[in-house]
């Protein structure tokens, strides 16, 4: 495929996933961008080779394995971005802020801005924190 093909095959191997062409295609798209990729974008990029149900299953599997994380943007659309190496099959550690640009609609992982731990009231078990800041991004502000 391309020079990253080996990296992605190893990634699938590490997570005991079968190395299918479709899974490799999805990884290729998700890891090739600096920003998160929305579900509709994935569908339009890969729709010719992967039907929606299969794509959905692949994304779900990757999310469960700690390979990618899901972010809901301001429009309520699911976006996906690669996880940090700290994520595992059992626990995600993507406690960073996401930035949704209102001009270009891109969703960025701001990996260096950590979300602090919150002390929950007794009886509450948080599973996922979704913090999205909206505004205009670096690229849009350059223009
Ligand atoms: Zn993660
Ligand atoms: Zn922008
Ligand atoms: Zn992120």
Beta bridge partners of 55: none
Q: Cα separation of 117 and 105, whole Å?
A: 28
CATH class of 5-142: mainly alpha
Spacing, Cα 143 to ligand 1 middle (Å): 33
Rounded distance, CA 89 to CA 109, Å?
20
What would the two tokens of residue 22 be? 């479709």
Residue 16 in this model has a pLDDT that exceeds 80 = yes
Annotation-wise, does 140 bind a ligand? yes
Is-contact 55 68, C-beta < 8 A? no
Cα–ligand 2 centroid distance for 51 (angstroms) = 30
Ligand nearest to the CA of 140: 2
Residue 137, annotated as binding a ligand: yes
Strand (E) or helix (H) holding 38: strand 37-38
109 is in an annotated binding site: no
* pLDDT confidence bin for 1, thresholds 50/70/90: very low
Taking CA atoms, 101 is separated from 18, 105, 117, in Å, by 36, 5, 25
Residues around ion ligand 3, judged by CB within 5 A, are 81, 94, 109
- Name the token pair of 75: 């429009």
Q: What is d(CA 13, CA 34) in angstroms, rounded to the nearest whole number? A: 24
Res 2: pLDDT: 54
Query: In this predicted model, what pLDDT tens digit does every residue of 75-95 receive, in sequence order?
Result: 999 999 999 888 988 888 888
Is 94 marked as binding a ligand? yes
Give the number of whichever ligand sits closest to the CA of residue 34.
Answer: 3
Please list all protein residues whose beta carbon sits less than 5 angstroms from ligand 1, which is an ion. 69, 83, 87, 92, 94
């Amino acid at each position: 495929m391309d020079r990253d093909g080996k990296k992605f095959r190893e990634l699938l191997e590490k997570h005991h996933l079968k190395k299918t062409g479709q899974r490799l295609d999805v990884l290729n798209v998700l890891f090739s961008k600096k920003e998160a990729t929305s579900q509709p974008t994935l569908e339009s990029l890969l729709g010719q080779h992967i039907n929606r149900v299969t794509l959905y299953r692949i994304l779900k599997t990757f999310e469960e394995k700690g390979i990618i994380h899901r972010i809901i943007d301001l429009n309520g659309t699911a976006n996906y971005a690669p996880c940090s190496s700290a994520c595992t099959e059992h626990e995600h550690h993507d406690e960073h802020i996401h930035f949704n640009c209102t001009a270009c609609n891109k969703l960025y992982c701001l990996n260096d801005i950590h979300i602090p731990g919150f002390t929950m009231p007794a009886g509450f078990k948080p599973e996922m924190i979704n913090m999205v800041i909206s505004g205009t991004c670096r690229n849009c502000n350059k223009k």
